Amino acid sequence: MSRTMPYSLEAEQSVLGSVFLSPAVMVSLMDKLNEDDFYDQRNQRIFYALKNLFLREEKMDYTTVSTELAQLGAMRDVGVSYLSEITDLVPTTTNLDAYVDIVKEYSLKRAMIKTASQIVEDGFNDKIRATEYIDDTEEKIFELIRRRKASEFVRINEVVNEVKEKAESRKNKGSLTGLSTGFGIMDQITSGLQPEELIILAARPSMGKSAFAMNLALNAAKHNKDQKAAVAVFSLEMSNEQLVGRMMASESRVENRKIKTGELTPKEWQFVDSAAESLGRLNVFFDDSSAISVQDIRSKCRKLKQESKLDFVVIDYLQLIKGDESKGGGVNRQEEVAKISRQLKQMARELKIPVMALSQLSRGVEKRDDKRPVLADLRESGSIEQDADIVLFLYRDEYYSHGKEDNGETELSFAKNRQGSVGNVLLFKFEKEYSRFLPITRREEDMGRD
């Protein structure tokens, strides 16, 4: 049995009638509707004609609209009597917003019906793989969600009130407005890891960036929401067992090497058992898929978010994320990485969570006398710097001093901080055997403050 698509002829006619009654309302309608939002094809053509006249700054009445429709070859489809009916309609413009909402509501429902029908049709296509089918389905649905939430201009007083309300809600909570990192001095600089932020943690290999990221992941789970904060860790380089082994070493203060071999004293076993029990209570989720795309990451994170199990995401590391294979070979890797960083920023905004992605630095660092990293060293894409809200660099001077004992002193520098100061350099002691970073002190350096 055939069914008619949902729509309201009365609402569509009232919107068009309001324009003939008061042409000035076309200014707001242009931002809220387009001809595709109308279901009746006659109404689509009339709105298109009105839009053309508006853009040319011409008068909008029966004569001008009928002339425009005739020039478009659409007057016969609309009909003289129907255009006269719309022109003579006298709706109250006071209710125009209500008419517009009804038209948009039915337009969105029709779009959902068409999308769902296409999803069903694609499901029967043997040429589409299941993973591609699921990703494409999610993308179609979220595109409709973005359309529903399409923003319009907001007057300053509304934003002012929102800022004041948030300030009042935080006045008794101190300066921490995001997730605590577990490092007090880092929290002071960032006010915590903020929702919608993309944080890049970059270093040359063997500087300890994976260990530092795991420290942050563990601290975020332990120090927020009464140890109920949920953290997702995507490790493209190390296995889940390797990561958790490091976490257990950090938590128990038992050397990672001993945990691997099982050569522990009875006392050390007690520490490991206690750490295992403590870690087991935390909401930390791991995915060690070695070949994973941003679409895969986003899909898994959406699922966790829908289950209210996502507050922070850590990805180790950005350059290992799989690119878009649908474009075939010959794709510029720099462009791929640029696209990946933009997609990670979009994911942070969509899910309203902080996302930390680790990144390699180019070998150009090794050629300089001062090997401290700078923004230009971000490997493969300048857009990483552009998309990131915070860029952090890890640096150990002893790493380059061959023959000199490495005391673990590590610099964490803020090369970019969109919401705060840059140039801050925090000192940590890296206890490599425990995969653990301990804060030492803070140092200010002139790195071009914004």
Run of H or E residues at 147: helix 130-148
Return the structure tokens found at 449: 């403050």
Q: Can you give 38-78 as a three-state secondary structure string? A: CCCHHHHHHHHHHHHHHHCCCCCCHHHHHHHHHHCCCHHHH
Region 391-403: what's the mean pLDDT? 80
Residue identified by tokens 């990451």 is 297
| Residue with token string 């640029």 | 338
Dihedral sign for Cα 396, 397, 400, 403, please: negative
For 21-79, write each residue's pLDDT tens digit.
888 888 888 878 888 999 999 999 999 999 899 888 889 999 999 999 999 999 999 99
- Of the pLDDT bands very low, low, confident and very high (cuts 50, 70, 90), residue 94 is confident
What's the pTM?
0.66
pLDDT of residue 359 exceeding 50, the answer is yes
Q: Is residue 237 flagged as an active site residue? A: yes
Q: How many CB atoms lie within 10 A of CB 163?
A: 10
237, 268, 350, 409: which one is catalytic? 237
pLDDT value, residue 153? 57
Answer whether residue 81 shows pLDDT above 60: yes
pLDDT in tens, 146-162: 666 555 556 777 778 77
Using CA atoms, how far apart are residues 269 and 271, in angstroms rounded to an integer?
5
**b/e per residue 350-372 (b: at least 16 CB within 10 A):** bbebbbbbbbbbeeebeeeeebb
Domains of the chain plus CATH, in order, are: 9-148 (1.10.860.10), 175-444 (3.40.50.300)
